[in-house]
Structure 1
């Protein structure tokens, strides 16, 4: 880290950064000059700006422009050694490996940043135990709007100090305390200062070990937060027990646009509780209930109010153990969400033989951009219904069918969709039991010589064909000869299964030739393909000659 900092400091240009710092402080300096002229302060009297930006009892007033410039230079140097650049009204030290000394230096600079609106010191372990030194200066950055303290190893004393300091920053609109386990059990200490009329719009408490009592407190607090638009309580497995209180509070959150309850220990009863709140959330855009494995069966009689979410754009129900009856109920609701753009039903294996009607009716979602149904144990009938529907999804950008074995040998059913896919950006067919014939058809119908004119997959950026070990070398050769037509491709994955190792055939040479004609590609996954010495040399020569930043992830030479 020290070497990185030294290099960054020596190579950084000071002019642009000085300009940025000047811009940061320009408003305060102008205000100071105006007050000096109007009030005719003497040299012995501190200006209003200095009174506002320096600790009232301990700091000495700035007496000259030279001292102000010195503080600017210190701020600039501090950012340089951390590899950061000054950004107007923003101090972003996210994941900078801050040391205790860095923390002290940052705290000393806060008095000179009176217009600071964003402070991000997330993912810095040494923040824990020292937060009080920052919170004591909160009155000096009272214009702060965004405070991010994710994964800072906050202690109980830290969260208590934070709670006392939050009233010093009444303009706060975003608070992120995610991945701090000591928040759990202490949430009232932190948020007790939030009063009715709070401007908070975004509250993120992911993986904070929240207790059922925390959930109850939050439910009582929500009616106070009338401006709240984003609430993320994901990975707090104990709040399911207080969902009644949270749902009651949500009824007063009419401006809420994002609600994330991923992996929150929700049960079948939870669906009914939430369903009663949905009618009050007319502005909701994103709903994430994923990875609640006990949710299965809850939608059978309790999803009617989902249809009230007319503006819903993202619905994530992956890994929720959906039953056949759940799917039947959702079939009546999901196609009516006409603004839906992203739908994730993946890892619900019981829907494989019961989702034919649901998949058929997806054609009524013209705005759908992302459809993720990997690992759903689709059967031939359901896959056929999906293929027929996908032709009507002209806006589709992400299509994930991975881990559905029925695709193998039946890819021809999707060819019309692939031929017409002008918008498709991501296609994932990992572990689909694809055979050589599938690749031949893909090559023949979707990578024709006229691909640029016809637009077949012309916008594709990520293609995943990994774990399809049944494709022979001849199939890979045909594929590699024609992949060059995907001019916007960034990532390609053709890795083998973990249990399988094979020698690269002559197709590897075709792949290298194709890569030359792919100007944007940066990542090629080919794990467990064994490169013999001759191909290893070819790859090394390619890296040296082409000077391209392309990562061939083959797991090492065998």
Structure 2
């Protein structure tokens, strides 16, 4: 549409007639004539204004353009002054009226542009919504979570086109989509359109080298980035130094996860050099990178500049005795540390002998994971002295450290000084009589206990009655694992008695698997009383892999109990030979009762 000028057809008819007056005509008019002319112009203007509004309405359905109020006000003002000042109507007045009317089309054009912009935004929103709905996700202008959506390279291409339409995006998660490796570089190169991005998760995407190298630009163009997760991408290893070049001084990065990235010693050195730029770092996960233990000193030196560090994850990192000593010397630099995971580092044996005392600096430590660390008797003796000082500890995992169960300086006797302890995992610790007795005595002072895992400790079998008082007092207990504890029928009777009294009402998970010495009578008693655990969601009574056994009459009691266990979603009954009629009962149970229980029973045995 051509831009309207002073003589555009939208001008009023009155103006046209007035401009074409015959030469020599009388320019001075009577007050009555002036009044009639003004009135005529007003009516004409109103009529054409309505016509103009109707046109815009037809072009942009649903919109309601505002009428040009300035024209009407001006004409009303002129009418109000005509009677008192009739001779003030001049050519200048006509020009003013012409300019006023010529503004009307310009206003409409501005409105049209505004409406067009709104239409574009609506269209963009629809495209994003359709893309997310196709993947079973709800639209959100600030967050796109496509974790484990089975994305294809075609989906990745669509996402590339959509990113420029999402300037307010703060979170992008495409983790666990291992078919889009090689298609992510275009996505990463479009990240500059979403400069407000705070969270980027690319875990297990099979990033190619090109994908990985594009991450440097991402870090350069997202100054507000707070979380970066590249875990489970092996090509990050060997290229990390180039990626980290994008991290600027004063970075806002708070969470950096590089789990199982095949990091090299050179990568570890690069991390140590860039860590001083990340003074806001709170969570640092280098787990399952077995080659960084030899360069840990460089990393720890860099971490001394991160006073806000709250979680340090070094699970399976090839740590040694020397590594533990290096870490111990740095604990004083992390006063806010809440979680420390040093698990599955078998070569640290003996490393805590002279370093455990440094743990006392971690006044706010909530989680200490030392499972499968081959702790020596000297390590345990040192830990025994420092454990009572960790009064904020809520989770302790000492699993798969066999010396814990036989140490003369028993660590378990000191657990009573941890009133906030909620999770205690000591499976596979070869508990003997003294260690188990110490545990029983300490456990009665743990009112907050929610998770207790004693699996793979054979001494528990036949001695569960020693835990009777603990089971009665543990009103918060939600998870009880007694897997492969050599339990006998009497042990199950003890457990049933606690349930009958009304304890363990909060229990959600119960693992009694691999206890093959319990009689059919014991299972019958248990099956009849298990409905009293109304919040139970998972139950496992499977047999050991080498054992197969016929189900007794107790199985009917278990089937009847299923209707009352309304929260149950997992039932493990592996290697029990179930009669065909009862197999059918399991097959149709969910359908008839509108439930969704996963029955793990290996029906083809």
| Fold shared by both chains (TM-score > 0.5) | yes
Kindly indicate whether residue 436 of structure 2 is the aligned counterpart of residue 389 of structure 1. no
Kindly indicate whether residue 376 of structure 2 is the aligned counterpart of residue 323 of structure 1. yes
Paired position in structure 1 for 2:201: 148
> Does the 8 A contact of 2:263 with 2:292 survive in 1?
yes
Paired position in structure 1 for 2:537: 490
> Does the 8 A contact of 1:356 with 1:386 survive in 2?
no
> Does the 8 A contact of 2:507 with 2:535 survive in 1?
yes
Separation in structure 2 between the aligned mates of residue 388 and residue 353 of structure 1, nearest angstrom:
17
Paired position in structure 2 for 1:480: 527
Choose 245-254 or 365-374, whichever is displaced more: 245-254
- Compute the displacement of 1:66 (Å): 2.7
> Does the 8 A contact of 2:199 with 2:226 survive in 1?
yes
Separation in structure 2 between the aligned mates of residue 426 and residue 259 of structure 1, nearest angstrom:
26
Paired position in structure 1 for 2:269: 216
1:90-137 CA distance string (max 9 Å, x none): 011111111111111111111110000001111122432222212222
Separation in structure 2 between the aligned mates of residue 169 and residue 154 of structure 1, nearest angstrom:
20
> Does the 8 A contact of 1:128 with 1:152 survive in 2?
yes
Separation in structure 1 between the aligned mates of residue 364 and residue 108 of structure 2, nearest angstrom:
57
* Alignment CA distance shift 1:343-1:42 (3 Å): farther
Paired position in structure 2 for 1:239: 292
Count of residues in correspondence between the two structures: 499
Kindly indicate whether residue 496 of structure 2 is the aligned counterpart of residue 443 of structure 1. yes
Kindly indicate whether residue 338 of structure 2 is the aligned counterpart of residue 291 of structure 1. no
> Does the 8 A contact of 2:157 with 2:183 survive in 1?
no
SS at match of 2:562: helix
Correspondent of 2:319 among 245, 262, 266: 266
SS at match of 2:214: helix
Paired position in structure 1 for 2:549: 502
Separation in structure 2 between the aligned mates of residue 63 and residue 271 of structure 1, nearest angstrom:
64
- Compute the displacement of 1:195 (Å): 2.0
- Compute the displacement of 1:355 (Å): 6.5
> Does the 8 A contact of 1:159 with 1:189 survive in 2?
no
Alignment of 1:127-138 (within 5 A): 127-138=180-191
SS at match of 2:172: strand
SS at match of 1:366: coil
Structure number, greater radius of gyration: 2
Alignment of 1:451-490 (within 5 A): 451=502, 456-490=503-537
Separation in structure 1 between the aligned mates of residue 212 and residue 109 of structure 2, nearest angstrom:
42
Paired position in structure 1 for 2:245: 192
> Does the 8 A contact of 2:329 with 2:358 survive in 1?
yes
Choose 89-98 or 495-504, whichever is displaced more: 89-98
- Compute the displacement of 1:165 (Å): 2.7
SS at match of 1:279: helix
1:156-201 CA distance string (max 9 Å, x none): 2212111123111100000001111111111111111212210000
Paired position in structure 1 for 2:279: 226
- Compute the displacement of 1:88 (Å): 4.2
Separation in structure 2 between the aligned mates of residue 337 and residue 260 of structure 1, nearest angstrom:
19
Alignment of 1:287-366 (within 5 A): 287-354=340-407, 357-366=410-419
Q: Whose relative contact order is higher, 1 or 2, with alpha carbons under 8 Å and at least 6 apart? A: 1
Separation in structure 1 between the aligned mates of residue 588 and residue 181 of structure 2, nearest angstrom:
48
After superposition, the CA RMSD in angstroms is: 1.8
Separation in structure 1 between the aligned mates of residue 394 and residue 160 of structure 2, nearest angstrom:
44
Correspondent of 2:178 among 100, 108, 125: 125
Correspondent of 1:207 among 253, 260, 278: 260
Choose 286-295 or 539-548, whichever is displaced more: 539-548
* Alignment CA distance shift 1:355-1:222 (3 Å): farther
- Compute the displacement of 1:292 (Å): 0.4
SS at match of 2:316: coil
* Alignment CA distance shift 1:393-1:496 (3 Å): same
Paired position in structure 2 for 1:282: 335
1:334-386 CA distance string (max 9 Å, x none): 12100000000001112220166211110000000000000011111110110
- Compute the displacement of 1:547 (Å): 2.2
Separation in structure 1 between the aligned mates of residue 510 and residue 177 of structure 2, nearest angstrom:
35
